[in-house]
Structures are given as structure tokens and as C-alpha cells.
Chains A and B, each alone.
Chain A
Amino acid sequence: MDKVIFRIKKGTPEKWEYRDYEVPVENGTTILDALYYIRDNIDRTLSFRASCRMEVCGSCAVMVNNFPRTACSTQIKTIGKKVITLEPLAGYPWIRDLVVDFDGFFKKHESVKPYLIRKDNPEGQLLQSPEQLAKYKQFTLCIKCGACLAACPVAVSDPFYLGPAALAAAYRFNADSRDQGKNLRLAVVSDAEGCWRCHFSSECSEACPKDIDPAGAIQKLKVQAAGYELKKFLHLGVKE
């Protein structure tokens, strides 16, 4: 059995240090397994978030050697290093150890109106063909882990930028054939801190554990936003 040293940023913003922990590693051992091993056997004061351990709840993203990853679905052997540094997600207010403040992340998500908007009160099924479903399906898979924001150079330096996850959520609803609230969302995302801040470097998509390609969604959103802005400029009357 191999051993790997985990170097973890431990403490609170007032007082912290890097601490080393040695963890036995087999094929299949994940970073989250290592964190539980440390907490159960070495240091019961280590604090981190986790719940599902199957990459679906979005709790466990941390910086692994400076790159954001979901701890539960990252196999230690695939990193191929004897020393692995773990730090709290970049670009978020730090609480302690590997725990950061997610309130701002969820507020940004909420601000793009990420829910289906209808002008009527539908009764029966809203029909949607498999092809219509396929247009937005990929973007429904976001687990809100926040890794993309930690990878995005704009988001890390500008706390007000809406960021890839929220923008991808806006696109998800705009592309849903059942939705009738596209312009309400475009009004939000074409704002100064919205999609135009993105310079399409795609770091977010590289970091996304769910292969959602938020960068791609943002480009499509820009096309929609440009049309919306143009209509507004020409006073063509934008229908809500």
C-alpha cells in the first residue's frame, strides 16, 4: 500500500497553517476517503463538507494542488503525486479549514431567475419532444459544486461577476421549450456583471466535474443577449 502526504490549509482567517497528514492509498481511494481517514484516525478537528460521496450533492469541492475538484470523485492515484495540497475553494470567503462561504454563490444563482416562468396556469402535460429536451438537458446536470467559479479568472478577481454556474443556469431555462421568461433573464445577464464579463477562456468548463461546459452556455447566452440589447436599442419593444 502506498502512502501520500496531504498538506492541508488548516485554521481560520485569523490563525492558520499548513499541516501534513500521511494517508495510506489504494487503487480507488478518493480524496474524500482520505479526508475521512484523517478525521477518523489522525485529527478529529479537521473540518470539511461532504454528504453524498457520489458526485451528485455538490458539497465537497476543494482546491487540489491549486485546481478545483470534487473530493469524492477524485481518485488519489490519478493525480500521481506523493504530496497533495488541499486548500479551500479559491475566490470564496473562507470560513475555516476546507469550508468556504457559499451564500454569495447561491445568491448569484437565484438572481438569474432559475425557474420555469409561465404566463398561463397549465393543466395537463406540457409536451416536449426528446429533441427539445436535448437542447437544454446538459445544462440541467449542474450540481452547484462551485468548482467553475474557483477556476474562472474573472470570478476570482471580481466578486460581483455572476459567474459560469449562474449564467449556465440562465441559459438552461432560456433553452427550455416550456419556458416563457427568456427576456426577464436576459435583462439580468446582459447587465455589467453578466455574460459580457466572460472572455471565453474556458477554465470553468475544464474544472466542471459534470462536463457541463458552462463556457459554451455563456457563448450561446451572449448571442441571445445581443439580440435582446439590439431590440431594446431600436426601441422595438421587448416583450416580457
Chain B
Amino acid sequence: MEKIEADLLILGAGLAGLRAAISAAETDKNIKIAVISKLFFLRSHSVAAEGGTAAVLYEGDSYDLHAYDTIKGSDYLADQDAVEIFVRTMPKEILDLDHWGCPWSRLPDGRIAQRPFGGHSFPRATYAADRTGFHALHTLYERMLFYENIERYQEYFVTSFIINKEGFSGLTAINMKNGEFVLFRGKALIIATGGLGRLYSFTTYSHTVTGDGAAMALKAGMQLKDMEFIQFHPTGIVPSGILITEGARGEGGYLLNNKNERFMQKYAPQKMELAPRDVVSRSMMWEIQEGRGFTGPWGPYLLLDLRHLGDAKIRERLPAIRDIAIKFNGIDPKDEPLPVRPAAHYTMGGIHADNDTSTPVKGIFTAGEASCISIHGANRLGSNSTAECLVFGDISGRNAALYVKNARMNDIDMEKVKAEENRIYVEAFKKRGDETVPLLRRELNNTMQEKVGIFRNEKDLLDALKIVKSLQERFRNVYVEDRVMEYNTNLFTYLELDNLLEVAEVVILGAIARKESRGAHYRTDYPKRDDVNWMKHTIAQKVNGEIQLSYIPVRVTKWKPEERKY
């Protein structure tokens, strides 16, 4: 067993993790920081973000307006004091990235450019063509190379959090290159592991986004918040699910049904295609259900039409979309509309944390999509997520650095470490039944897609719960067949499936309990929002092996709930 020690451990190297690392290194040059990821940092899912990052930069826009848009978009489930911190910190984050070399798109006079985005009442999505996440992640990575007190552990697969009575004490991991067991010890941990989108079969997420952080937190007794809220993005391209950014509609793209109608006219006459994602995705599914979709070998779809933008604008503003359409679908968007359908895209819920990013467990902080602070409530606005990663990554890095200064290394419970080593190196490899990882994963994906998707109802949800419970049972008959310890993907996918099965149950339980419709959670049997009974956050926690739900109030500052019309 290899042992690695640092003052601060940062788990995850997407936008949130890398922003946290830089912030911690700037706060205190004398602490040792270890950033850990199961991928080379530049492979993190954040690299796929396309459209933009929201920030108030110019005249005409204001913090109050950005906050109001975010809160209304959240269907009044966001904590309003958190949103205020968020909108006020964001402009500085854009400037930091500028100073660190981010190739932001520019106005003719040299200032940073912005574009419209769904649900925002001002064009405040700051962008670097349609590769915003890519450029932001590369910029943070490059900047990170600057600091001598950041150690990089790339391709280390973390398997569990070790917590004792005093709080955080360590992480167990596998060095993926040689398969060896590793124990990381630190005074504090920042969890920045991203979302859980690979629960679903039609999704915009990278293959590696498997809810590991949430699952490990749950197993370690931590609290998850609002996990029933999963965002479906209106425009995943069919069949691959690759995202066509909202920026495509921001630049003026139309959504069309099989009657060649811009059907958003009916559902959101003012904002049209740029209504928030939950609204557009549901509208699309209604169109499809009522027979106005197209049918193809890979299921129903609608059209995203960019032809009227013209080749020059498409090349300048949406080069990656053009490239994707040509490379993956053989379609040039200047000649032909693109086939699209809503796809699982974002995890609003996550590890329960306070506005300062601390969790109830001493020494553990969390940021980015893995966390739930909550600024997105029941539905996140486009371009608010990369922004969240920057703001709360920054805050978590600073607070964790200040924390470790006065903290000590907690004793580690070696019993727990031994048990984890046994689970991975002995139990996982024991030949049992003939169930396999791909078989169970496919069943899980299909169940979630069909029964826990955009439209939900009690019967489907109860069915889904039963299936997931039985898959958890059947998982005991899965084992790792690959005996070579170098880069054993069979082992990693086995551990990821275990994590997915763990979090699936929480998503479903939260959805069964929430008898209302709010944001991305739409119950056909309870189609109205119910502020009297349900304006509250769901908290899920494992107690004696059983998941228990409880609720905490939403923090309201000055925006009273009102009906959402777009």
C-alpha cells in the first residue's frame, strides 16, 4: 500500500477542482495541496462545456437581474443568499481567467464579448466561441502549473472517504496505471467530482461521469440534497446524445416540429426557443407525444434549424457545433437542420453544503456539480454551472486553505482502510454468478430513462425503485474477470456501476416523495407547484444501511415566489 500525505486533498480536476487548487495555492504558499483525478486533468468532463459562462459585466445588466433570473429559473428552490454571493463574485472570475490567458471571444473594441442564453434576461453568457468549458479548463490547468505547492495525481481512482469522529481523515484509491492500493491522508478534503449523468441512456455527459462523489459521500454517512432534480437539455443530437449548445438557439436557431412550425410559440410565446431548459424539454416531449415529432431508427426527434444564420455566422460563432454535426452526423448545418431530442444533462442536487462550501463533516468542503449549495434549485439556467464551478471552487479553495492552517491530521481508522482494500482486491474478484457490468448497467440506464425521466408518475417511480433494488441485489453476482492489474477498466467500470446503483435509489426516493411539479421534476400526477408543502430541500442520508429523507427550508431574501411564465 502506497501512502501519500498532503495538507489539503482536492478530489476532482474539472473546473471546480482546478479553480479550488489555484485559490488554495494563492491563499497559502506553504501548504501542500494534492489534486486527485481518475482522469488526466484535461480529460475532465468540464472540457465539453460549450456555450458560455454567466457574469454581469456591462451597463444594462445588474446583480439583481442575474439573481432574479437564476431564482426564477430555479423555480424558487434556490437559496437566495447563495445566489447573491454567486452573482457578485462572478465578474472577478471572468477577469481572472482573462489574466490567465483564456481566449475569450471579443468585441471589435477589444472587450470581452457576451451572448444571450436561455432564461437570462440580458445577454450575459461570456464565451470563447462554442468551446467555453474547453478553454476555461485548459486555462486553469495551465495556470495551475505555475504553483509549486500543487502536486498532481492523475489517473488515481478514489474508492472511499474515511471519516472518523473528529471529521475527515483520508481517501482510499487505486493507482490506475499499476493497480496498486493507495491511501491519501490530509487535514481537509474538497469534493469536486461532478455529476451523475451516466445514470441515463440518452445523455450529453462524458462516459466517466458516474456519480462517484455522491455515492462515496452517501456510503460515508454524508448528506445529499435535492437529488431528484435532473436537468434534461433540449438539444442532444440523435443518435449519439452529443450536446448542441443552447448557444445555437442563443444565436437565433429555431426548433421545428414535423409541421415545420416553431412550436415554442405555443408554450413560451415571449422567450420562445430561449425559455429555460425544463420548459423547452417538456414542450418538445409534448410535441413528440402528440405525434408532431419525426420518427427514425434511433427513436423520435425534432429539428434544430440553423440554416437562416448563414454559413459565415455558423463558422464564426458555432464552429464546434458545425464540426460535430459534420463529423458525427454527416450534416452541414448550413444546408440541413439537425435531429435533436432532450438528453440528461445536469445534476442540480449534490452533496449538502453551506454557502461557504463547508459540509456538516468537519474538514470536508465541496464545490461544482458534485455539490448542492444550492444556487440552481429545481432547474439550472444555462451558463450558470461553469460559473458556479468558478465561484464556489474559488471559495472552497480559500476556505479550505485557511482551515488546514489551524487543523491537525486526524487519526485514520485502519480497520476501514483494510475493509476497503478487501472489498476491491478480494471481494470484487471472487467468481460468483454470471451477471456482468454491461448487462446491469444497460438495465439501470433504460429504467432511469423510461421511468425517472422528464415526465414522472408514482407508478413508474415505484416500478423503478423495485428494479433498482433488484439490480443492487444482482450486483452481488457481478465480479471482475480481468486479472491484469495494469489499467484494469473492468475493475473501474465495476466500481462505477456500484456507485450508480447507490445514487439511483436516492434520485428515485426523492422523486417519489416530492408530490408536486417544480423545475425539472415534473409529476404528471401532481402537475402543479405546491409552495405550501414543498418549498423545501430534500436531504437524503444513509442511517443503518437505509436511506432516510428529511427536509430543510429554502432561504428567501427578497424574491417572493411567483408563477413562472416565459
Contact = CB atoms under 8 A, between A and B. Distances in A.
A58 B43 contact: yes
Nearest to B112: A125
B138 A140 contact: yes
A191 interface: no
Interface stretch (A128-136, A147-155, A214-222, A231-239): A128-136
Nearest to B441: A40
A9 interface: no
Contact of B101 (A48, A96, A115): A115
Interface string A22-61: 0000011010000000011100111111111111111100
Contacts of B484: 12, 45, 47, 96
B98 A96 contact: no
Contacts of A118: 99
Interface stretch (A79-87, A156-164, A171-179, A200-208): A171-179
Given A12-B486, A47-B487, A125-B112, A56 B327 contact: no
Interface in B306-324: 320, 323-324
Contact of B100 (A39, A59, A97, A115): A115
Interface in B455-506: 481-482, 484, 486-490
A176 B101 contact: yes
B328 interface: yes
A141 to B, nearest CB: 7
Contact of B98 (A53, A110, A126): A126
B325 to A, nearest CB: 11
Contacts of B105: 133
Interface residues of B, number: 58
Contact of B40 (A45, A50, A102, A127): A102
A54 B242 contact: yes
Contacts of A123: 95
A59 B39 contact: yes
A95 interface: yes
A49 B38 CA distance: 11
Interface stretch (B141-149, B248-256, B543-551): B141-149
A70 to B, nearest CB: 10
Contact of A144 (B42, B135, B207): B42
Nearest to A41: B438
B483 to A, nearest CB: 8
B47 interface: yes
A110 B481 contact: no
A40 B442 CA distance: 10
A173 B481 CA distance: 47
B131 interface: yes
A106 interface: yes
Given A44-B436, A115-B100, A140-B103, A51 B324 contact: no
B301 to A, nearest CB: 14
Given A44-B437, A129-B110, A54 B487 contact: no
A110 B107 CA distance: 31
Given A44-B436, A52-B45, A115 B143 contact: yes
B299 interface: no
B327 A55 contact: yes
Given A101-B177, A129-B106, A52 B99 contact: no
Contacts of A52: 43, 45, 47-48, 206-207
A235 to B, nearest CB: 31
Contacts of A75: 327
Given A28-B239, A95-B486, A125-B112, A178 B101 contact: yes
Interface string B85-121: 0000000000100111101011111111000000000
Interface in A101-132: 101-102, 106, 110, 114-116, 118, 122-130, 132
A127 B109 contact: yes
Interface residues of A, number: 58
B519 to A, nearest CB: 27
Contacts of A125: 95, 98, 111-112
B44 to A, nearest CB: 8
A53 B42 contact: no
A45 B95 contact: no
B30 interface: no
Contacts of B482: 44-45, 47
Most chain A beta carbons < 10 A, residue from B100, B108, B138, B481:
B138
Nearest to A139: B103
B43 A59 contact: yes
B208 interface: yes
Given A41-B438, A126-B98, A54 B103 contact: no
A59 B43 CA distance: 6
B240 interface: yes
Contact of A28 (B111, B208, B329): B329
A217 to B, nearest CB: 15
B330 interface: yes
Contacts of A50: 207
B99 A126 contact: yes
A199 interface: no
Contacts of B111: 125, 127
B134 interface: yes
A47 B487 CA distance: 7
A73 B328 contact: yes
Given A54-B242, A97-B487, 5 more contacts: A39-B438, A40-B438, A58-B43, A96-B484, A178-B101
30 contacts: A40-B442, A44-B437, A47-B482, A47-B489, A47-B490, A52-B206, A56-B47, A56-B131, A56-B320, A58-B42, A58-B43, A59-B39, A59-B43, A95-B177, A96-B484, A97-B487, A99-B486, A102-B40, A106-B154, A114-B145, A115-B100, A115-B142, A115-B145, A118-B99, A126-B99, A127-B110, A127-B111, A129-B109, A133-B106, A178-B101
Those 7 A-B pairs whose CB atoms lie nearest each other, nearest first: A116-B101, A127-B110, A40-B438, A45-B482, A115-B142, A57-B43, A51-B206
